[in-house]
Homo-oligomer: A and B are copies of this chain.
């Protein structure tokens, strides 16, 4: 089966289930649902190092793409998620050029970044022992999504998008609505912010990068698709 990176590059739409409960058997259940990918959430969900390592097994067993959302600023975990076999990592609150560079550095091997060598679980899970080929292909085969969910991030968007190693952006509409309303309201469908959300996808696509978004209300998928979004992270197993 093609990789997530390949699918996104080919312009396919990908829907990801969302997993908050840190338990490999529950992840396997979620992975049995009819989604192409599963995101393990370490930021607001309960996932942690152990549940990510084990959860990725159940996701692959079901032929889905494993994604991991790391906690804020925990770029050490970006590298570790890749070593465990994640195909993509989502970093929340990438609010500045500096954040984006640190994230990209953890995601990509030299000379692009400073990701350290040691795909201890990823290589066996991919069924290969050829390290040299891994080194040569990993940077293109993994996807780094920077979350855009504050006014600062919007301001810095052009800079963030230009960072080599940032493969796409992912919009967090709940946080974005709080930012947009200066802390007054949380509403992932806030109409006021929709033009800004459209702009984010437009800019990302213009520079050849992916546009992704967290979707609380499935009826919005069509509208986001029209804006250029192609990866849709859908709700939570707890919902």
Q: Does A233 contact B (CB under 8 A)?
A: no
| Cβ-defined contact, B26 with A111, below 8 A | no
Q: Does A116 contact B (CB under 8 A)?
A: yes
Given contacts A43-B79, A57-B61, 6 further A-B contacts (CB under 8 A): A22-B49, A46-B120, A57-B57, A110-B183, A120-B238, A124-B238
For window 47-97 of A, CB contacts with B under 8 Å fall at 48-51, 53-54, 57-58, 60-61, 71-77, 79-80, 83-84, 92-93, 95
Q: Which of A174-182, A191-199, A205-213, A221-229 contacts B (4 or more CB under 8 A)?
A: A174-182
- Can you show 17 pairs from A to B with CB atoms below 8 A apart? A20-B121, A21-B25, A23-B26, A43-B79, A43-B80, A44-B80, A48-B48, A61-B125, A72-B76, A72-B106, A72-B116, A110-B182, A111-B183, A117-B186, A118-B174, A131-B186, A135-B186
| Cβ-defined contact, B84 with A46, below 8 A | yes
Contact residues in B for A121 (Cβ distance below 8 Å): 20, 46
| Cβ-defined contact, B84 with A80, below 8 A | no
Q: Does A24 contact B (CB under 8 A)?
A: yes
Once A26-B26, A29-B21, A71-B77 are accepted as A-B contacts, the answer to whether A44 and B110 lie under 8 Å apart by CB is no
Q: Does A150 contact B (CB under 8 A)?
A: yes
Please state the number of chain copies in the assembly.
6
Majority-rule SS of A interface residues: loop
| Cβ-defined contact, B22 with A57, below 8 A | no
Q: In the complex, A169 Cα to B15 Cα: how many Å?
A: 45
Q: Does A3 contact B (CB under 8 A)?
A: no
| Cβ-defined contact, A149 with B116, below 8 A | yes
| Cβ-defined contact, B83 with A79, below 8 A | no
Q: Does A32 contact B (CB under 8 A)?
A: yes
Chain B's closest residue to A147 (CB) is: B116
